[in-house]
């Protein structure tokens, strides 16, 4: 594998990162098990060696243990990598949102310690908090930037109006939202707005929570502690119906002698030069496979073929269950 991963700039901010980042959530949270710490540190080190310079975590993953893991693993590379983390949840046990300015500032202090850094490279609001005007949120991050505690401000899963209002107070460097071949909603309004404002886009779940790798089928079951067990789109009957997406990826992948996951990531990378997907993994071979996507060139004909074929497939099932869906604010 070519170890030199190309870099990309997130919007007009000049925040330069590897074209693929590493989502670290699954190492400590969300999938029912907490991965072995030594193995995860080795995985993160392998990512750095391979040219990854962009790592994604959040205080709520665990809570706290994922930031601690990322902080410990990346301590030897301080200043050479970009760490993104997030604020905005009440981590005291209630799964409520909390983006009050004083809370944002407390979170920043705690995250700096856990991440073992002097400054947070990219600080996202994890979910829009309808109880706090976005201007106050942006203002709090602006203060942190002035104090030298944060470099860049980001939003996650925010809609166009919120993005514009936040950006007017403190320029937004990146939006992190779900985007993949089977969740293309951002294409209608979000991507044109980001392009207009010069904001980078960081797609999470770029492999459809593992589905687009081609390693799941209608017989796949998830541990009850794995959040995917609650995702309607991943129920057995919907997995069967959605298999058409994977079949399409397999078809293109076979022709190019690569994997379906590599096609799914290469497709995303081909959409805009300021898109930086952050696939997560706990497996070394998957990390290497994902990074290989940066060497996959899709021709305009292949992109057209994927777009035409995928536009005819109707996705079955919501991307979140009822409770979580409420956290997605437009």
Q: What is the pLDDT of residues 154-189, one digit of tens each?
A: 999 999 999 999 999 999 999 999 999 989 999 999
- What is the predicted pLDDT for the residue at 322? 59
Q: Are 40 and 284 in contact (CB under 8 A)?
A: no
- Write phi, then psi, for 220 (nearest 5 degrees): -70, 130
Contact 153, 172 (CB under 8 A): yes
Q: What angle do CA 265, 225, 209 make, to 5 degrees?
A: 10
Residue 33 pLDDT: 86
What class is the 7-209+271-297 domain?
alpha beta
Beta-bridge mates of residue 8:
17
Of 61, 124, 179, 320, which is the active-site residue? 61
User: What CA–CA distance (Å, rounded) separates 260 from 65?
Assistant: 32
pTM: 0.96
Catalytic (active site) residue 61: yes
The list of the chain residues with pLDDT below 70 reads 1-3, 93-95, 322-330
Quote the CA–CA distance of 303 and 252 in Å, as a whole number.
10
Tell me the per-residue pLDDT of 236-267, one tens digit each, with 9 for 90 and over.
999 998 999 999 999 999 999 999 999 999 99
- pLDDT on residue 226: 93
Where does the chain show beta strands of DSSP type E? 7-10, 15-18, 22-23, 54-56, 82-87, 120-125, 150-156, 172-178, 200-204
């Amino acid at each position: 594998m070519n170890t030199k991963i190309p870099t990309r700039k997130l919007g007009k901010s000049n925040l330069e990162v590897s074209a693929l980042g590493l989502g670290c959530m699954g190492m400590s949270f969300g999938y029912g098990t907490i991965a072995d710490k030594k193995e995860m540190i080795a995985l993160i080190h392998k990512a750095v060696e391979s040219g990854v310079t962009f790592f994604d975590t959040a205080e709520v993953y665990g809570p706290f243990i994922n930031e601690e893991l990322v902080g410990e693993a990346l301590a030897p590379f301080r200043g050479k990598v970009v760490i993104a983390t997030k604020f905005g949840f009440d981590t005291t046990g209630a799964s409520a949102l909390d983006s009050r300015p004083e809370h944002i500032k407390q979170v920043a202090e705690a995250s700096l310690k856990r991440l073992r850094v002097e400054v947070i490279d990219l600080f996202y609001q994890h979910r829009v908090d309808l109880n706090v005007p976005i201007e106050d949120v942006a203002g709090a991050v602006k203060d942190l930037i002035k104090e030298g505690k944060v470099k860049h401000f980001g939003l996650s899963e925010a809609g166009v109006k919120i993005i514009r209002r936040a950006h007017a107070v403190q320029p937004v460097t990146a939006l992190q939202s779900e985007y993949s071949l089977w969740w293309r909603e951002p294409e209608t309004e979000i991507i044109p707005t980001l392009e207009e404002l010069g904001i980078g886009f960081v797609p999470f779940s770029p492999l459809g929570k593992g589905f687009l790798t081609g390693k799941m089928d209608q017989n796949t079951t998830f541990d009850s502690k794995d959040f995917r067990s609650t995702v309607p789109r991943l129920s057995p009957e919907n997995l069967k119906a959605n298999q058409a997406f994977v079949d399409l990826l397999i078809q293109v992948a076979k022709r190019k002698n690569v994997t379906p996951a590599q096609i799914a990531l290469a497709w995303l990378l081909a959409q805009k030069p300021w898109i930086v997907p952050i696939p997560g993994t706990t497996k070394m071979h998957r990390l290497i496979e994902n990074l290989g996507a940066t060497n996959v060139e899709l021709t305009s004909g292949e992109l057209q073929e994927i777009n035409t074929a995928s536009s005819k497939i109707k996705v079955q099932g919501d991307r979140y269950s009822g409770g979580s869906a409420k956290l997605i604010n437009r």
